[in-house]
Amino acid sequence: MFKKILIANRGEIVCRVIRACRDMNIKTVAVYSEADKDALHVRMADEAYFIGAPPSNESYLRWEKIIEAAKKSGAEAIHPGYGFLSENSEFVREVTKEGITFIGPSPEAMEAMGGKISARKIAIKAGVPVVPGTTEPLKSAEDALETAKEFGFPVMLKASAGGGGKGMRLVENEHDLKNAFEAAQSEALASFGDGSVYIEKAIVRPRHIEIQIFSDTHGNFVHLGERECSIQRRHQKVVEECPSPINDDYLRQEMGECAIKVARAVDYVGAGTVEFLVSDLDKSFYFLEMNTRLQVEHPVTELVTGIDLVREQILVANGAELSFLQKDIAWNNHAIECRVYAEDPENNFLPAPGKITRLCIPQGNGVRDDGGVYKGAEVSIYYDPMISKLAVHGRTRAEAIDRLRRALREYEVGGIKTTLPFFREIVEDEEFIAGKLDTGFIARFNERKQVKKIDEATRDLALIASALAFADKQKSVSNKSQNAKLSVSRWVIAGRAAGHRNWF
Ligand code: MV4
């Protein structure tokens, strides 16, 4: 077994991997930029190496500095976490060249799944349902129009080298197609250096459900069930849960087997996630893409299956067979995770970096908080402003929601704005509570919020109007109008102060 592992990342995922290593008596090595010199992940690791200036392309993306730290420290393996170099096949090759083990899949598997068109082709060949669409880049706007008419509108234009929604365009009708196609091409070229765009039939109001798979170097493949990830803001998942509210054993098995077919097709090794779009109408599902890394939201799968995915990654990277067979995997409880960010929900979720002056992390039954900060820590402007992932679990979804409410009440962060108030509203939302989730959830949630605000304002205005009418009536009846107006306005103010907005 490895004696020492370097984690080529920062923040909460490094702290999380360190905990798994500690459980396995493996020493840990952290790397850090100038901005992270006092970070929690540096404090927690057994050793830490400075790798450069704060910008990621001068530190966490500089693989020669990371490999140098691994060699200096004598780390036998590197865990990439997620993001940064976690899906960079060149980095894997450089690490392997140095005789260091990369904890993750082969560079070939990464490359096969990195291109969205190549991934679609692999899924089709593996007999897995994909969204109806092309498997070659569109040649021109005319080609796009011809193809769109074949599938029928609405259609989705996607960048072949894209992912995570970048360069994607929903096109409702043929009049909008030409401009959308040209915009998608130029955005794809600017973002990925590859302007090729393909087209799919748009699945309307789909759920975004992903399957966790795991495999080893001995040909064993299992799935660990699904995660519901439909609550997203700008293609960033914000709330994830396991199981999906629309889960049934048949759907889980069908999707799980399809996910394994895709993984087998690229000789995948380790933890991977296969994403699907699922129609609420008939639970039909379509392969979307495969992520060749451990996902941010992996804790909800761990809480429901009881499996430590990072521990399993390390064992498999060290040549062990999977610790479990498919028949050994059971799904108990219901887990929900919120990604708590230093962003200001009142200011369009703009990043809100700064110093954390107070920190109260929720604890107790059914609560897990994977965090990367402490009281006094600085949330940096250079990186993803995640504070922690708050995950809760209960025997049922209702119990998990109650626990999430309690944990969100307990959770306090002082000195910076966070998305905690946003989650406190989400858990009271009727569609969320009913499990009516799809990729349009946030848009509808915001609409409901606007409507509530207008209703409240209207109600206040109605009250004031009736109060003034009452005061006027009083005035015509007696000359105590001044006291009457004062008493009414005092009544209104007292009511508002006591929060009794429904007094009027
Ligand atoms: C789609 C789709 C509907 N129809 N493709 C989003 C990013 C990447 N994971 C693929 N995504 C989607 N592809 C077709 N043919 C819906 C999504 C989608 C989505 C779209 C708009 C807004 C939010 C979304 C969240 C998840 C998935």
Cα–Cα distance, 370 to 348 (Å, whole number): 25
- Phi-psi domain of 415 (left: phi exceeds 0; alpha: psi -120 through 50; beta: other): left
Give the N- to C-terminal CA distance of the chain in Å, as an integer: 69
Q: Whose CA is nearest to atom 23 of ligand 1?
A: 439
Instruction: With beta carbons less than 8 A apart as the criterion, state whether 333 and 399 touch.
Output: no
Instruction: With beta carbons less than 8 A apart as the criterion, state whether 158 and 197 touch.
Output: yes
54-73 per-position pLDDT tens digit: 999 999 999 999 999 999 99
Share above pLDDT 70 across residues of the chain, in percent, rounded to a whole number: 95
Q: Is 236's C-beta closer than 6 angstroms to any atom of ligand 1? A: no
Q: Which residue has the higher pLDDT, 195 or 464?
A: 195
The amino acid occupying position 467 is: A
Q: Is 315's C-beta closer than 6 angstroms to any atom of ligand 1? A: no
Q: Which residue has the higher pLDDT, 504 or 474?
A: 474
Q: Is the pLDDT of residue 388 over 70?
A: yes
Q: Nearest CA to 87 among 33, 18, 150, 164?
A: 164
Non-local CB neighbours of 350 within 8 Å, separated by 6+ positions: 343, 344
- The CATH code for residues 206-444 is 3.30.470.20
Given pLDDT bands bounded at 50, 70 and 90, which one contains residue 502? very low
7-54 per-position pLDDT tens digit: 999 999 999 999 999 999 999 999 999 999 999 999 999 999 999 999
Pick the CATH number of 132-201 from 3.90.1150.10, 2.60.40.420, 3.40.50.2000, 3.30.1490.20: 3.30.1490.20
Look at the domain 4-103 and name its fold.
Answer: Rossmann fold (3.40.50)
The amino acid occupying position 185 is: Q
Given pLDDT bands bounded at 50, 70 and 90, which one contains residue 248? very high
Confidence (pLDDT) at 276 = 98
Instruction: With beta carbons less than 8 A apart as the criterion, state whether 334 and 396 touch.
Output: yes
Tokens encoding 261? 């077919």
| Known catalytic membership, residue 120 | no
Cα–Cα distance, 112 to 105 (Å, whole number): 11
Non-local CB neighbours of 132 within 8 Å, separated by 6+ positions: 151, 200, 201
Confidence (pLDDT) at 464 = 82
Compute how many other C-beta atoms are within 10 angstroms of the C-beta atom of residue 310: 24
pLDDT mean over 427-454: 94
The alpha carbon of 175 and the centre of ligand 1 are apart by a number of angstroms equal to 22
Cα–Cα distance, 256 to 274 (Å, whole number): 9
Q: Whose CA is nearest to atom 24 of ligand 1?
A: 439
Would you say the pTM of this structure is higher than 0.75? yes
Cα–Cα distance, 163 to 170 (Å, whole number): 15
323-373 per-position pLDDT tens digit: 999 999 999 999 999 999 999 999 999 999 999 999 999 999 999 999 999
Q: Is the pLDDT of residue 457 over 70?
A: yes
Confidence (pLDDT) at 361 = 98
Instruction: With beta carbons less than 8 A apart as the criterion, state whether 420 and 444 touch.
Output: no
Cα–Cα distance, 383 to 353 (Å, whole number): 10
The alpha carbon of 165 and the centre of ligand 1 are apart by a number of angstroms equal to 6
Q: Which residue has the higher pLDDT, 164 or 382?
A: 382
Share above pLDDT 90 across residues of the chain, in percent, rounded to a whole number: 86
Q: What is the mean pLDDT of the chain?
A: 94
The alpha carbon of 414 and the centre of ligand 1 are apart by a number of angstroms equal to 35
**HEC readout, 206-258:** CEEEEEEEEECCCCCEEEEEEEEEEEEECCEEEEEEECCCCCCHHHHHHHHHH
Q: Is 202's C-beta closer than 6 angstroms to any atom of ligand 1? A: yes
Confidence (pLDDT) at 497 = 62
Inter-CA distances, 445 with 135, 170, 402, 448, Å: 35, 20, 20, 5
Tokens encoding 306? 């009881």
Cα four-point dihedral sign 136, 142, 144, 148:
negative
pLDDT mean over 217-243: 97
Q: Is 261's C-beta closer than 6 angstroms to any atom of ligand 1? A: no
Q: Which atom of ligand 1 is nearest to the CA of 289?
A: 9
The alpha carbon of 169 and the centre of ligand 1 are apart by a number of angstroms equal to 9
Cα–Cα distance, 192 to 186 (Å, whole number): 10
Which one from 293, 339, 368, 403 is the annotated catalytic residue?
A: 293
274-288 per-position pLDDT tens digit: 999 999 889 999 999
Beta-bridge partners for 54 = none
Q: Is the pLDDT of residue 491 over 80?
A: no
- Cis link prior to 243 (omega < 30° from 0)? yes
Q: Is the pLDDT of residue 243 over 50?
A: yes
Q: Is 162's C-beta closer than 6 angstroms to any atom of ligand 1? A: no
259-318 per-position pLDDT tens digit: 999 999 999 999 999 999 999 889 999 999 999 999 999 999 999 999 999 999 999 999
Non-local CB neighbours of 35 within 8 Å, separated by 6+ positions: 54, 378, 380, 382, 383
- The maximal CA–CA distance of the chain, rounded, in angstroms, is 96
- According to DSSP, the β-strands at 4-7 and 27-33 are parallel
Instruction: With beta carbons less than 8 A apart as the criterion, state whether 171 and 221 touch.
Output: no
Confidence (pLDDT) at 492 = 65
Q: Which residue has the higher pLDDT, 345 or 457?
A: 345
Q: Is the pLDDT of residue 95 over 90?
A: yes
Please, how many CA atoms are within 13 Å of residue 118, restricted to the half-sphere of its CB? Answer: 12
Q: Whose CA is nearest to atom 9 of ligand 1?
A: 164
The alpha carbon of 238 and the centre of ligand 1 are apart by a number of angstroms equal to 15
Task: Give the residue extent of every domain in the chain.
Answer: 4-103, 132-201, 206-444, 446-503
Q: Note every long-range contact of 421-429, with CB atoms under 8 Å and residues 24 or more positions apart, other chains counting.
A: 421/345, 422/345, 422/349, 423/239, 423/338, 423/340, 423/390, 425/449, 426/231, 426/239, 426/338, 427/401
178-190 per-position pLDDT tens digit: 999 999 999 999 9
Backbone angles phi, psi at 391, to 5 degrees: -120, 140
Cα–Cα distance, 310 to 16 (Å, whole number): 8
Q: Is 134's C-beta closer than 6 angstroms to any atom of ligand 1? A: no
